[in-house]
Amino acid sequence: MKAPHSEALKQQSRELTTQAPAQQAKPPVPFKSLETHGIRSGSYDLVPLDLMRKTIAKRMTESFRDVPHFPLTIDIEIDGLLKARGDINKRFADSGVKISVNDMCIKAAALALKLVPESNASYTPDGIAQHHHADIAVAVAIPGGLITPIIFAAETKGLAQISHEMADLAERARNKKLKPEEFQGGTFSISNMGMMGIKSFASIINEPHGMIMSIGAGEKRPIVKNDALAIATMMSVTVTCDHRVVDGALGAAFLKAFRGFLEDPMAMLL
Protein backbone atom coordinates (compact mmCIF):
# COMPACT_ATOMS: atom_id res chain seq x y z
CA MET A 1 0.00 0.00 0.00
CA LYS A 2 1.36 3.44 -1.02
CA ALA A 3 1.96 5.97 1.72
CA PRO A 4 -0.44 8.96 1.64
CA HIS A 5 2.41 11.46 1.78
CA SER A 6 3.98 9.82 -1.31
CA GLU A 7 0.79 10.44 -3.33
CA ALA A 8 0.69 14.03 -2.05
CA LEU A 9 4.28 14.64 -3.19
CA LYS A 10 3.51 13.24 -6.62
CA GLN A 11 0.46 15.51 -6.90
CA GLN A 12 2.56 18.55 -5.91
CA SER A 13 5.16 17.59 -8.51
CA ARG A 14 2.48 17.35 -11.23
CA GLU A 15 1.10 20.76 -10.24
CA LEU A 16 4.57 22.37 -10.33
CA THR A 17 5.29 20.83 -13.72
CA THR A 18 1.98 22.15 -15.03
CA GLN A 19 2.56 25.61 -13.59
CA ALA A 20 6.23 25.96 -14.65
CA PRO A 21 5.64 26.87 -18.33
CA ALA A 22 3.15 29.57 -17.35
CA GLN A 23 5.58 31.03 -14.79
CA GLN A 24 8.45 31.02 -17.26
CA ALA A 25 6.33 32.74 -19.89
CA LYS A 26 5.32 35.54 -17.49
CA PRO A 27 6.24 38.87 -19.10
CA PRO A 28 8.45 41.37 -17.26
CA VAL A 29 6.75 44.06 -15.22
CA PRO A 30 6.24 47.07 -17.51
CA PHE A 31 7.99 50.31 -16.62
CA LYS A 32 5.72 52.78 -14.87
CA SER A 33 5.84 56.38 -16.03
CA LEU A 34 6.90 59.13 -13.65
CA GLU A 35 3.37 60.49 -13.79
CA THR A 36 2.00 57.27 -12.27
CA HIS A 37 4.34 57.94 -9.32
CA GLY A 38 2.82 61.38 -8.81
CA ILE A 39 5.40 63.51 -10.66
CA ARG A 40 3.62 66.16 -12.70
CA SER A 41 4.02 66.21 -16.46
CA GLY A 42 6.10 69.18 -17.58
CA SER A 43 7.97 69.44 -14.26
CA TYR A 44 11.13 67.82 -15.63
CA ASP A 45 13.34 67.65 -18.72
CA LEU A 46 13.80 64.25 -20.35
CA VAL A 47 17.33 63.56 -21.62
CA PRO A 48 17.19 60.77 -24.24
CA LEU A 49 19.24 57.65 -23.53
CA ASP A 50 22.24 57.19 -25.80
CA LEU A 51 23.45 53.73 -26.81
CA MET A 52 26.03 53.59 -24.01
CA ARG A 53 23.53 54.42 -21.27
CA LYS A 54 21.02 51.90 -22.69
CA THR A 55 23.70 49.19 -22.74
CA ILE A 56 24.83 49.97 -19.18
CA ALA A 57 21.23 49.93 -17.92
CA LYS A 58 20.52 46.60 -19.62
CA ARG A 59 23.71 44.86 -18.49
CA MET A 60 23.58 46.09 -14.90
CA THR A 61 19.90 45.16 -14.55
CA GLU A 62 20.58 41.66 -15.88
CA SER A 63 23.62 41.22 -13.63
CA PHE A 64 21.88 42.41 -10.46
CA ARG A 65 18.85 40.23 -11.22
CA ASP A 66 20.51 37.06 -12.50
CA VAL A 67 23.79 36.75 -10.57
CA PRO A 68 23.54 35.52 -6.94
CA HIS A 69 25.96 38.00 -5.41
CA PHE A 70 27.22 38.97 -1.96
CA PRO A 71 29.77 41.50 -0.63
CA LEU A 72 32.88 41.01 1.50
CA THR A 73 34.61 44.05 3.05
CA ILE A 74 38.06 44.38 4.59
CA ASP A 75 40.06 47.30 6.03
CA ILE A 76 43.68 47.59 4.90
CA GLU A 77 46.47 49.67 6.46
CA ILE A 78 48.23 51.47 3.60
CA ASP A 79 50.93 53.60 5.29
CA GLY A 80 53.62 51.23 3.98
CA LEU A 81 52.04 51.35 0.52
CA LEU A 82 52.02 55.15 0.48
CA LYS A 83 55.67 55.29 1.57
CA ALA A 84 56.70 52.77 -1.10
CA ARG A 85 54.78 54.72 -3.74
CA GLY A 86 56.44 57.97 -2.71
CA ASP A 87 59.90 56.38 -2.75
CA ILE A 88 59.34 54.86 -6.20
CA ASN A 89 58.05 58.11 -7.70
CA LYS A 90 60.91 60.12 -6.18
CA ARG A 91 63.59 57.71 -7.32
CA PHE A 92 62.31 57.36 -10.89
CA ALA A 93 60.91 60.87 -11.43
CA ASP A 94 63.53 61.61 -14.11
CA SER A 95 62.24 58.62 -16.07
CA GLY A 96 58.71 60.01 -16.08
CA VAL A 97 57.41 57.30 -13.73
CA LYS A 98 54.40 58.32 -11.63
CA ILE A 99 52.77 55.37 -9.86
CA SER A 100 49.30 55.78 -8.36
CA VAL A 101 47.65 53.87 -5.53
CA ASN A 102 45.27 52.50 -8.15
CA ASP A 103 48.20 51.11 -10.18
CA MET A 104 49.46 49.29 -7.09
CA CYS A 105 45.96 47.93 -6.39
CA ILE A 106 45.78 46.58 -9.96
CA LYS A 107 49.11 44.78 -9.51
CA ALA A 108 48.17 43.47 -6.05
CA ALA A 109 44.79 42.20 -7.30
CA ALA A 110 46.44 40.42 -10.23
CA LEU A 111 48.98 38.71 -7.96
CA ALA A 112 46.26 37.74 -5.48
CA LEU A 113 44.22 36.18 -8.29
CA LYS A 114 47.22 34.09 -9.27
CA LEU A 115 47.92 33.16 -5.64
CA VAL A 116 44.26 32.08 -5.25
CA PRO A 117 43.62 30.85 -8.81
CA GLU A 118 40.16 29.44 -8.07
CA SER A 119 38.97 33.02 -7.56
CA ASN A 120 40.06 34.07 -11.07
CA ALA A 121 37.06 32.39 -12.65
CA SER A 122 33.78 32.80 -14.52
CA TYR A 123 30.53 30.87 -14.36
CA THR A 124 29.25 29.06 -17.46
CA PRO A 125 26.36 26.54 -17.67
CA ASP A 126 28.91 23.89 -18.69
CA GLY A 127 31.36 24.50 -15.84
CA ILE A 128 33.58 27.00 -14.07
CA ALA A 129 36.11 28.65 -16.38
CA GLN A 130 39.42 29.15 -14.55
CA HIS A 131 41.42 31.82 -16.38
CA HIS A 132 45.10 31.54 -17.22
CA HIS A 133 45.84 35.24 -16.69
CA ALA A 134 44.58 38.05 -14.47
CA ASP A 135 43.06 40.45 -17.00
CA ILE A 136 42.02 43.42 -14.85
CA ALA A 137 39.18 45.63 -16.13
CA VAL A 138 39.31 49.09 -14.52
CA ALA A 139 36.25 51.35 -14.41
CA VAL A 140 36.83 54.76 -16.01
CA ALA A 141 34.21 57.51 -15.86
CA ILE A 142 33.48 59.11 -19.21
CA PRO A 143 30.69 61.43 -20.40
CA GLY A 144 27.49 59.38 -20.48
CA GLY A 145 28.61 56.51 -18.26
CA LEU A 146 31.44 54.11 -17.45
CA ILE A 147 33.78 51.99 -19.52
CA THR A 148 36.21 49.31 -18.33
CA PRO A 149 39.49 49.19 -20.29
CA ILE A 150 41.59 46.13 -19.51
CA ILE A 151 45.16 45.59 -18.34
CA PHE A 152 45.77 42.15 -19.83
CA ALA A 153 47.98 39.64 -17.97
CA ALA A 154 48.54 42.23 -15.27
CA GLU A 155 50.39 39.71 -13.11
CA THR A 156 53.24 39.71 -15.66
CA LYS A 157 53.69 43.50 -15.76
CA GLY A 158 55.67 45.85 -13.56
CA LEU A 159 54.15 48.90 -11.87
CA ALA A 160 55.66 51.31 -14.42
CA GLN A 161 54.12 49.41 -17.33
CA ILE A 162 50.74 49.15 -15.60
CA SER A 163 50.84 52.89 -14.87
CA HIS A 164 51.72 53.74 -18.49
CA GLU A 165 49.05 51.43 -19.94
CA MET A 166 46.38 52.66 -17.53
CA ALA A 167 47.07 56.32 -18.30
CA ASP A 168 46.93 55.63 -22.04
CA LEU A 169 43.73 53.57 -21.80
CA ALA A 170 41.99 56.13 -19.58
CA GLU A 171 42.86 59.01 -21.91
CA ARG A 172 41.67 57.16 -25.00
CA ALA A 173 38.54 56.01 -23.14
CA ARG A 174 37.60 59.63 -22.39
CA ASN A 175 38.22 60.53 -26.03
CA LYS A 176 36.20 57.49 -27.16
CA LYS A 177 39.14 56.04 -29.09
CA LEU A 178 39.33 52.59 -27.47
CA LYS A 179 39.15 49.52 -29.68
CA PRO A 180 36.42 47.00 -28.69
CA GLU A 181 39.02 44.38 -27.77
CA GLU A 182 40.52 46.83 -25.26
CA PHE A 183 37.39 46.98 -23.10
CA GLN A 184 35.56 43.73 -23.85
CA GLY A 185 36.47 40.66 -21.79
CA GLY A 186 38.68 40.60 -18.73
CA THR A 187 38.51 38.26 -15.74
CA PHE A 188 38.15 40.69 -12.81
CA SER A 189 37.01 44.28 -12.29
CA ILE A 190 38.18 47.21 -10.16
CA SER A 191 36.18 50.35 -9.40
CA ASN A 192 38.03 53.00 -7.38
CA MET A 193 36.05 55.92 -5.95
CA GLY A 194 38.59 56.82 -3.28
CA MET A 195 39.65 59.97 -5.15
CA MET A 196 36.02 61.14 -4.85
CA GLY A 197 36.06 60.77 -1.08
CA ILE A 198 33.83 57.68 -0.97
CA LYS A 199 34.73 55.65 2.11
CA SER A 200 33.09 52.33 1.23
CA PHE A 201 30.78 50.95 -1.46
CA ALA A 202 29.82 47.75 -3.28
CA SER A 203 29.69 47.47 -7.07
CA ILE A 204 27.48 45.40 -9.37
CA ILE A 205 29.30 42.46 -10.94
CA ASN A 206 30.54 43.03 -14.48
CA GLU A 207 29.62 39.72 -16.13
CA PRO A 208 31.18 37.28 -16.79
CA HIS A 209 33.66 38.22 -14.05
CA GLY A 210 33.44 36.24 -10.82
CA MET A 211 34.21 39.31 -8.68
CA ILE A 212 34.40 43.09 -8.77
CA MET A 213 36.49 45.11 -6.30
CA SER A 214 35.34 48.47 -4.90
CA ILE A 215 38.10 50.64 -3.45
CA GLY A 216 37.33 53.44 -1.02
CA ALA A 217 39.33 56.45 0.15
CA GLY A 218 42.42 56.10 2.31
CA GLU A 219 41.99 58.07 5.53
CA LYS A 220 43.54 58.42 8.96
CA ARG A 221 41.66 56.30 11.51
CA PRO A 222 42.22 55.23 15.11
CA ILE A 223 43.19 51.56 15.31
CA VAL A 224 44.40 49.16 17.99
CA LYS A 225 47.97 48.00 17.36
CA ASN A 226 49.88 45.85 19.85
CA ASP A 227 47.07 46.42 22.38
CA ALA A 228 47.55 50.19 22.18
CA LEU A 229 45.57 52.91 20.42
CA ALA A 230 47.31 54.23 17.30
CA ILE A 231 46.61 56.23 14.14
CA ALA A 232 47.01 54.66 10.71
CA THR A 233 45.94 55.33 7.14
CA MET A 234 43.21 52.80 6.42
CA MET A 235 41.38 51.93 3.22
CA SER A 236 38.14 49.94 2.98
CA VAL A 237 37.91 47.45 0.12
CA THR A 238 34.81 45.46 -0.85
CA VAL A 239 34.57 42.59 -3.32
CA THR A 240 31.18 41.64 -4.70
CA CYS A 241 31.27 37.91 -5.48
CA ASP A 242 29.28 35.70 -7.82
CA HIS A 243 28.32 32.93 -5.38
CA ARG A 244 28.16 30.39 -8.22
CA VAL A 245 31.91 30.83 -8.63
CA VAL A 246 33.37 32.43 -5.50
CA ASP A 247 31.95 31.41 -2.12
CA GLY A 248 32.66 33.19 1.15
CA ALA A 249 35.78 31.21 2.05
CA LEU A 250 37.29 31.68 -1.40
CA GLY A 251 36.50 35.40 -1.45
CA ALA A 252 38.06 35.77 2.00
CA ALA A 253 41.20 33.95 0.83
CA PHE A 254 41.51 36.33 -2.11
CA LEU A 255 41.09 39.40 0.12
CA LYS A 256 43.67 38.06 2.57
CA ALA A 257 46.17 37.68 -0.28
CA PHE A 258 45.32 41.15 -1.65
CA ARG A 259 45.77 42.75 1.77
CA GLY A 260 49.10 40.96 2.18
CA PHE A 261 50.47 42.56 -1.00
CA LEU A 262 49.24 46.05 -0.11
CA GLU A 263 50.48 45.96 3.47
CA ASP A 264 53.87 44.59 2.35
CA PRO A 265 54.45 46.19 -1.07
CA MET A 266 57.91 44.59 -1.40
CA ALA A 267 56.11 41.25 -1.83
CA MET A 268 54.85 42.52 -5.19
CA LEU A 269 58.45 42.48 -6.47
CA LEU A 270 58.98 38.75 -5.89
Q: Which residues have a Cβ under 8 Å from the Cβ of 172 and sit 6 or more positions away?
A: 149, 178, 182
Whole-number Å distance between alpha carbons of 139 and 214: 10
In Å, how far are 72, 165, 215, 264 from 259, measured between CA atoms?
13, 24, 12, 8
Whole-number Å distance between alpha carbons of 34 and 80: 51
Is residue 152 classed exposed, middle or buried when 0-12, 13-18 and 19+ CB atoms within 10 A define those classes? middle
Whole-number Å distance between alpha carbons of 126 and 197: 41
Residues known to be catalytic: 243
Is residue 110 classed exposed, middle or buried when 0-12, 13-18 and 19+ CB atoms within 10 A define those classes? buried
Closest CA to 113 of 132, 140, 137: 132
